[in-house]
Homo-oligomer: A and B are copies of this chain.
C-alpha cells in the first residue's frame, strides 16, 4: 500500500484539516466532533441542508458545502458512518429556525445514525426531514445496506435540493424536491481495480488481471458479477441499459447524464464512456440536456466509473442551473 498519508488512523483528521486550510473562505471545519459548516451558516430564514457519510468518497460531501448546496457535511471514518454526536451539532449549527433536511445515502449505519441525530434535534425543537438516496440499480441489499444503495444520485439531490433551499422553499418543499430527484435518478458502476482502506492496508476485494466487476458499490462491496475485461463501449452498455430500463426512459425524455470517476481513472477515459452513453441515448430519442463528467463521488483510488441518469423536468433543470459556490461545484457566482 503506497499512499500519501502519515498515520493511517489520522487520514481523515489531517485531510479535513487541510481542506479547511485551503478553503477557509467558504467553510469552517470543527475538528472534534468533526463536521464542516458553510462559512455564513446559519443563513437567516433558510432551510439548512446536512449530509454526510463515510470518508473516502471525496469531494463528497465536504466539497459540496456552500451557497446553493449543503450547509454542513459530516465526515465519518473511511467507509464508516459518522456518529450522532457529529450529526447533531452540525444540524444545530445550520438551523436558522426554518428546519433542517438530512440527505442520507441508504446504508444501514448512515440511516441509523442520522435517524438518532434527527430525534435528538427534534427533542431540542428543530424540525428535521430526511431525504433517503437509493439510486443504485445494481443490487437489492448488499454488504452495507438493505435495499438499494445511494451512489451518484446523491450529488444531484444535494445540488437541486440545495438550490430549492437557497431560493427560499420551506422545509417540506425542500424535502419533496429532494425525494423527487431521488425518484427520477438511477446509477450503476464498474470497478477495474480495488481500493485500499488506509487502516486496513490491503485491497478490499480481489480482481484478476483481466477481470472487472459490474455493479460495484462505492465501498468496493460486491456488484452483480465479475466478467472478463471488455471495451469501453461494451462496459458502457452494461451500465447504461439497466439504468435506462429501470428509469423507464422513453423517446422525448430530457436527462442529465453524469459520468463519474471512482478516483483512479483518467478523465480522458470518462469522456470515452460519456461519448458512447450520449450516442446510445440519442439513438433512443432521449435528449441529454445537461452533463457532468469527472470525479464527484469516489472510492479512494479505485479505477472505474459509474453512470448516473436523472430524468429532468423544468423545475429540476432550473434548480440545477441555479448559482452554486462550493469547492467542487461552482457556477453563476
Contacts and interface: CB of A to CB of B under 8 A. Distances in A.
Interface of A: 2-6, 11-12, 14-19, 21-23, 55-56, 58-59, 63, 192-193, 209-210, 212, 229, 231-233, 235, 257, 263-276, 278-279, 288, 291, 293, 295, 298, 300-301, 303-305, 330-333
Nearest to A292: B22
A272 B18 contact: yes
A267 B264 CA distance: 10
Question: Which 10 residue pairs spanning A and B have beta carbons closest together?
Answer: A18-B275, A18-B271, A4-B269, A58-B267, A15-B268, A2-B192, A18-B274, A22-B291, A15-B271, A264-B264
B210 A305 contact: no
A272 B265 CA distance: 21
Contact of A271 (B19, B209, B210, B272): B19
Contacts of A235: 4
Contacts of A193: 2
A188 B295 CA distance: 24
21 contacts: A2-B193, A2-B212, A4-B232, A4-B235, A4-B265, A4-B269, A5-B272, A6-B232, A6-B272, A11-B272, A12-B268, A14-B271, A15-B275, A17-B275, A18-B270, A18-B271, A18-B274, A23-B291, A263-B267, A295-B295, A330-B331
Contacts of A233: 6
A258 B232 CA distance: 32
Contacts of A264: 263-264, 301, 303
Among A3, A23, A192, A229, max chain B CB count under 10 A is at A3
Contact of A58 (B23, B209, B268, B333): B268
